[in-house]
Amino acid sequence: MGRKDAVTKRFCSDRVRFADLVNGVYFDGRSVIHSEDLTVSGESYTQPLEYTGQEEKRQYQERVRDIKMLHKYGSTIRILAIEHQSYIDYGMPVRCMEYDVLEYRKQMEELKAQNLQEKRLSTSHERLCGMRKTDRLWPTYTLCLYLGEEPWDGPRSLQDMMDFGEDAGDMKELFADYPFRLYCVNEEHDFSMFHTQLRCVFELLPLRKDKKRLLEKLTGDEAYSHMDEDSLEFLSVVMDNPAIWKKRHKFKKSEKETEDTGKNKEEEYDMCQAIRELIEDGKQEGLSEGIKVGRSEGIKEGRLDALKQSVENLMKSLSISLEKACELLGSSQEDYEVLRQIVNR
């Protein structure tokens, strides 16, 4: 398991955040699922492969979910699961369906073993299938949480993966589709249904490549000055910016007593300060690198194409004029006059 998967799994496995995510996506923020009713459950399913009896040892296949919780509501138990994705999986509906089938198969095997052990089977039909007429399974709900940057252009249902051919007509209507619940953070605009720091985290992800709007969002919400350590680490890996985590001690606020107990201390981080300083660091690095490359390739070697590229890079990264870029690169007036005709502005 890579660092990104491990951090994401840890972040979403927190019962309070897990409940908030499910309530936000499924119930528009209504408090239907409560964290105290959730129990972390084993995520793996082990299935025997085809066995002919000739092999020395029986072979098994293990499939592992990302996150699985048992939700206990009175005498009822439900399975709530999350599959988190940072890339587009064009087979995701089948993959989620397979996890659900493995879950139901596991429950059936456990029921059959219990029925046999306790001699519960009374009719010939029950003895043949191993299950009683009154046996019931726990319903399973799988949510695919997409955290990637690229727009999701994959299938959103099992039907989207089918080739019905031309003039399918009624055959398409007869197809038994399988519901696939997909939540793409980068497609959303309203995150008010989330009540934990999921809201703060999710609001930033669609803006990860827009520095101006990112800073506007950070400076306009006081909550970003009080980010917890888990949220900071999660943002660091999802935004692919390890410096946020490596330099976290610079953005750590003084410890304060929590309002709940008045005794326990919690660590808070100023995300606004973090992003502002990282953007400024990036500008300085870009400036230094741009000047270095421009001088070595554009001036010293006299290649106009290289000089043009260096100028355009500086103009784009620092949002400055052609004249200012040429000044930073030490270009001559003659170079400037030529660049005026060929540089894209």
In-domain check, residue 226: no
pLDDT for the residue 258: 41
Query: Are 23 and 152 part of one and the same domain?
Result: yes
pLDDT for the residue 251: 81
In single-letter form, the type of residue at position 265 comes to: K
Compute the distance between CA of residue 85 and CA of residue 238 in angstroms, rounded to an integer.
11
Quick one: CA torsion of 164, 170, 171, 172, rounded to 10 degrees? 50
In-domain check, residue 296: yes
Query: Are 154 and 287 part of one and the same domain?
Result: no
In-domain check, residue 150: yes
Compute the distance between CA of residue 204 and CA of residue 210 in angstroms, rounded to an integer.
10
Helix and strand element counts for the chain (H, E): 13, 9
Q: What share of the chain is helix, strand, coil (3-state, %, to 5)?
A: 50, 15, 35
Query: Are 189 and 318 part of one and the same domain?
Result: no
Any idea what the Cα angle at residue 227 is, between residues 83 and 149, rounded to 5°?
A: 40
Taking the model in full, what pTM does it have? 0.74
pLDDT averaged per 10 residues in sequence order, the chain, 345 residues: 87 95 96 95 73 66 88 93 95 95 94 95 95 96 95 95 85 89 92 94 89 83 87 90 84 59 63 74 52 48 69 75 78 78 70
Helix residue ranges per DSSP H, the chain: 3-13, 15-27, 92-117, 124-129, 170-174, 198-204, 211-219, 229-238, 242-246, 271-293, 304-318, 322-329, 333-342
In-domain check, residue 56: no
Q: Which two tokens stand for residue 137?
A: 């399974």
Q: Which two tokens stand for residue 75?
A: 């005498």
In-domain check, residue 156: yes
Q: How many domains does the chain have?
A: 2
List residues bridging with 75 in a β-sheet.
none
Query: Are 5 and 153 part of one and the same domain?
Result: yes
Query: Are 303 and 192 part of one and the same domain?
Result: no
In-domain check, residue 68: yes
Q: Which domain holds residue 116?
A: 1-49+61-163+173-196
In-domain check, residue 320: yes
Query: Are 2 and 140 part of one and the same domain?
Result: yes
Query: Are 182 and 73 part of one and the same domain?
Result: yes
In-domain check, residue 255: no
Query: Are 152 and 9 part of one and the same domain?
Result: yes
Query: Are 187 and 328 part of one and the same domain?
Result: no
Query: Are 182 and 298 part of one and the same domain?
Result: no
